[in-house]
């Protein structure tokens, strides 16, 4: 019995801690969607976003070699190839952190998505929004390359 109680005391905290460490990074190609070629991107500012994630997403696309701008819908140029939308979820655990970031690449004419990606990182493995944006965009581009 003593061995079992020592085992519980040693490993029970590990089970609780690892249960709080969730990481998911996925991308999905939407059937009947467009294909990505050498495209220009417009990252649409989400109305509820006060942290300006559209700028972080725009910068991640620029770092990958694409032409990208961001702003409000009324400022979107007519000659844009991809409309980028996103949804962010924040959590509080001794401070606010981004727990989930969903990004969609859409046709700017009809706003139909052709690829969607999401990344989720809970408190124990949280990262900065810049890291998460780059992570999900990389996964989306990888998925598009495999889908060709």
Write out pLDDT tens, residues 64-118: 999 999 999 999 998 999 999 999 999 888 888 899 999 999 999 899 999 999 9
Confidence category of residue 26, pLDDT binned at 50, 70, 90:
confident
Contact 147, 62 (CB under 8 A): no
3-state class (DSSP) for residue 140: helix
Average pLDDT over the chain, rounded to an integer: 84
Smallest Cα–Cα separation from 103: which of 86, 80, 120, 78?
Answer: 86
Cα–Cα distance, 71 to 130 (Å, whole number): 18
Cα–Cα distance, 106 to 82 (Å, whole number): 6
Percent of the residues in the chain that have a pLDDT greater than 90, as a whole number: 51
β-pairing, 23-29 vs 96-106, is unpaired
Contact 85, 108 (CB under 8 A): no
Of residues 14 and 74, more confidently modeled: 74
pLDDT higher than 60, residue 1: no
Return the DSSP state at 73: G
């Amino acid at each position: 019995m003593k061995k079992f109680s020592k085992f519980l005391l040693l490993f029970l905290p590990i089970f609780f801690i690892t249960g709080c460490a969730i990481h998911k990074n996925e991308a999905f190609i939407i059937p009947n969607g467009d294909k990505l070629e050498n495209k220009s991107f417009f990252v649409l500012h989400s109305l509820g976003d006060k942290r300006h994630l559209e700028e972080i997403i725009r910068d991640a696309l620029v770092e990958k070699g694409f032409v990208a701008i961001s702003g409000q819908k009324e400022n979107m140029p007519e000659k844009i190839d991809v409309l980028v939308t996103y949804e962010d979820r924040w959590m509080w655990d001794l401070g606010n952190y981004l727990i989930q970031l969903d990004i969609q690449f859409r046709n700017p004419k009809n706003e139909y998505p052709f690829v969607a990606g999401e990344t989720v990182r809970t408190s124990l493995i949280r990262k900065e929004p810049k890291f998460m944006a780059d992570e999900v965009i990389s996964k989306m581009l990888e998925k598009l390359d495999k889908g060709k």
